[in-house]
Amino acid sequence: MFDFLSFEFMQRAVIGGTIIALIAPWIGSFLVVRRLSLLSDTLSHVSLFGIALGLLTGIHPLLSAFVCALGAVALIEYTRTKRSVYPESLLALLLAGSLSLAMILFSLSDTAYVSIFQYLFGSIVTITWSDIAVIGTTALITALLLTRFYRQFFLISFDEDIAKSSGLNVTMYNALLLFLAAGVISFSLRIVGALLIGALAIIPVMTAVLYKTSFKKTILLAIGYAVVSVWSGIYLSYTIDTQSGPTIVGISILLFVITFLYKQLRRTHQK
């Protein structure tokens, strides 16, 4: 069953995928409870625009993706505090706008056009060791900061007014959280793709929330679901010869549906 692991590219796929499965739902947990589920999708599309810009101008695509994601985060946070537009409508605008611009830029560059599918759907089996080093370092820094400031991130997610009245610098912790989300999403893009990183940060968390358990257990369950989705997705895509990214997302949605139905059935039986 595990003979596919004898290929080095598969080993890299499993390692890279596992790192993303550990960190994406972790940061995603804070986004989901803050009603910012769409943010991860928006950031991934803005990063896609950044990559297209990078490929066209010769700047390192990951760097331009990260800078564009940070710009989007600053804009989102600014309008959220100013309350000048509905936050989710701005997310929708950025999502559609950056995807359109990315497509225009990709089509302007003949060489870049080839890469579009790789960045849209990711290419987990073409991960290099340097990709793993980049996402590994990002994940490590993110994990350390999420652990160090767990109480603060929990409190700003639970109730911003209570957090402010407790003397927390809510603006700073908000900015830090979004900065980390921008890093994880833009650096994971080449591996899982723009359409799928958002799914991996959000769907396992949605599944874990159904358990109605503590916040820490919800994060652990979400990570568990993401790891299972990635491992079984890679294995299945290898055996039935499908795209790995969409297979991973398909499995995570399937796990959500099964868990949802199971919880509903249990509730009906308890009544």
Partner 1 sequence: MQITPQPLITVRDLCVTLNEISILSDICFELNMGEYVGVIGPNGGGKSTLIKVLLNLLPQTSGTFHIGNEQIPHPTIGYVPQRLVQNDVVFPAIVSDVVASGLTKHVRRKEKKERILAALEKTNCTHLIDRHMSGLSGGERQRVLVSRTLLMNPHILILDEPTAGMDIASEQQFFQLLKELHDEGMTILLVSHDIDRIAKEVDTVLCINHSMMCFSGTSHLDMSDAINKMYGGHVHVLHHDHHHH
Binding status of residue 154 toward partner 1 by CB under 8 A: yes
Give long-range contacts, CB 8 A cutoff, 24+ apart: 52-60.
52/101, 52/102, 52/103, 52/105, 52/106, 52/109, 52/112, 53/105, 55/105, 55/106, 55/109, 55/111, 55/112, 55/115, 56/105, 56/108, 56/109, 56/112
Binding status of residue 160 toward partner 1 by CB under 8 A: yes
**Least distance (Å) between residue 2 CB and partner 1:** 34
Which of the ranges 41-49, 118-126, 127-135, 149-157 carries the binding residues for partner 1, by CB under 8 A?
149-157
- Considering only CA atoms, which of 134, 64, 70, 63 is closest in space to residue 105? 64
Residues near partner 1 (CB under 8 A), total: 23
Binding status of residue 266 toward partner 1 by CB under 8 A: no
d(CA 79, CA 190): 29
d(CA 22, CA 144): 13
Report 19-38 residues binding partner 1 (CB under 8 A).
29, 33
**Least distance (Å) between residue 128 CB and partner 1:** 36
Report 79-138 residues binding partner 1 (CB under 8 A).
none
Which of the ranges 174-182, 211-219, 226-234, 262-270 carries the binding residues for partner 1, by CB under 8 A?
211-219
Binding status of residue 155 toward partner 1 by CB under 8 A: yes
**Least distance (Å) between residue 148 CB and partner 1:** 10
